[in-house]
Each structure stands twice: as C-alpha cells, then as structure tokens.
Amino acid sequence: MSTALSIQNLNYKRNRQVILHDGQLTLSTGKIVGLLGENGAGKTTLMRLITGNAQGQGVIKVGDSSDVMHRKQKTSFSDHLKGFDKSTKINQVVKFYQTVYPDFSNDRYQEMATFLQLDASQKLTALSKGTKEKLIIALTLARQTELYLLDEPFSGIDSMSRKQVISSILKWTPDNATLLISDHYVHEIASLLDEIVVVKDQTIAVHKGADEIRDQLGVEIEDYYESLYEVGGAADDK
C-alpha cells in the first residue's frame, strides 16, 4: 500500500511557544483516519502545517511531493470560507472554487448539494451552522484529490445534519483517497474510522488501527481515547 501522507521531525513554534514537536506520522492511501485531541491541542495546526499555510520545520510529504505548491494541489482542506464577504451567495462561492481549482468537479458538487439540500441562492450570512458545515463538506469533497483534511466537520451541528454529513463523506470520498477528520468527540465517528491519531502533549502521541484497539485491547475507542488522559495513563508525560 502506498503512502498518502508522511511527516518527519515536524516542529512548530509560534510566539516562542512550542505548539508541536518531533511529529512523526505516516498514513497509507485509502484510509479514513480520525485526528483526535483536546481543543487547542494542535489538530487544526497540524492540518495547516500539512497544507503549508502554517510554516514549521521538518519534512511533510503528500503523496511523494514535499513542495508546498504540490501539497496544496494534492490536498483538499475544509476551509471555513472566511475569505468571502458575508453577503456572498453559495453559487458565487461555488463559482470561485470552480475557477481556482482545476480538480473541482461541478457534477460532484451538484450531486452533493442536492443530497444535502443546499440552496444556491442563499447568502453565507444566512446559513445555519449545520448548513454551513454541509456546504463546506460539499465544496471540499467536490475537489478530487489524494488527501482530504476535514477540520471539525461536526462541531456544533445538530444530529440530522451530522448524519447527512457522515453519509456524504462515505458516498463521495473517492476510492484510494485518504481522509483525515478531526474531532474532539470520537464517539460519533468511531464506526467510520480505520485508524486514529491523537495529538497530545504538543506531539503526535498515538497512531493506532481502530480494529487493533477493539481486537487486541478489547475496549471501545472512546474508552481508549479517554484512558490517554487519565493520570498515569498510557501516554508519557514530561
């Protein structure tokens, strides 16, 4: 199986504070991977480092390219659309994506938009949290890339929307693409995941197969995840 993402000796500081140190991670193609960790642990930062929008030290490769421009091309990150005016309509956002991403498939987008009941004439400012997440998922998955980074796609949305978002992820993730989904609740996505990665103590602390946890340790992923945070737990404290 080939490698979708490899990270070696990743270090990242900001304002003279260490955010991530000695990060090592290799993800193989075609996996759905949960990126877990507490709020502020550095999950979003890790994703931004992968896209090159945060600049750290170390080697990050998407597929076989470490060059930032190629990484951006091979990665579809769930942008929260802050670069658009609030009065921008959904169809204008779609037009933007179509213009700047050669790998954006309008057909795929339209299928998802129908499934998720997105109204193209709505303005960004009028969207509920759930609808906005649906739009972001549709835009992100409408690009056809090797790696998808979904940053907290379920935070603050109702359970109906969550189900629809999960279904679209399963339906529209291309074969052989790798998906990294960050979330601080593992429970709602546990059944989707092949593997979990935990960011803790400013580093990539854990990378394990989901069935490895269930098979070998005989525990729920959620329990395993929580056990990492218990005093004297599995992870090494400095």
Q: How far apart are CA 57 and CA 9, in angstroms?
A: 8
Strand 32-36 with 17-28, pairing: unpaired
Could you say which of 18, 59, 120, 219 contacts other proteins (CB under 8 A)? 219
Binding residue for other proteins, selected from 38, 64, 114, 171, defined by CB under 8 A: 171
Nearer to other proteins, 71 or 200 (CB): 71
Binding status of residue 236 toward other proteins by CB under 8 A = no
Q: Which uninterrupted H or E stretch holds 107?
A: helix 106-115
Q: Which of 180, 184, 181 is nearest to 37 (CA)?
A: 184
- Build a one-symbol-per-residue string for 70-89: x at contacts with other proteins by CB under 8 A, - elsewhere: x-xx---x-xxxxxxx----
Altogether, the residues listed in the chain come to a count of 238
Question: x-or-dash pattern for other proteins, window 22-61, by CB under 8 A?
Answer: --------xxx-----------xx--x--x-xxx------
Written as six digits, the tokens of 201 are 């103590």
Answer left, alpha or beta for residue 144, where phi above 0 means left and psi between -120 and 50 means alpha.
beta
**Residue ranges binding other proteins (CB under 8 A):** 14-17, 30-32, 44-45, 48, 51, 53-55, 69-70, 72-73, 77, 79-85, 96, 99-102, 151, 163, 166-167, 170-171, 173, 175, 187, 190-194, 210-211, 214-215, 218-222
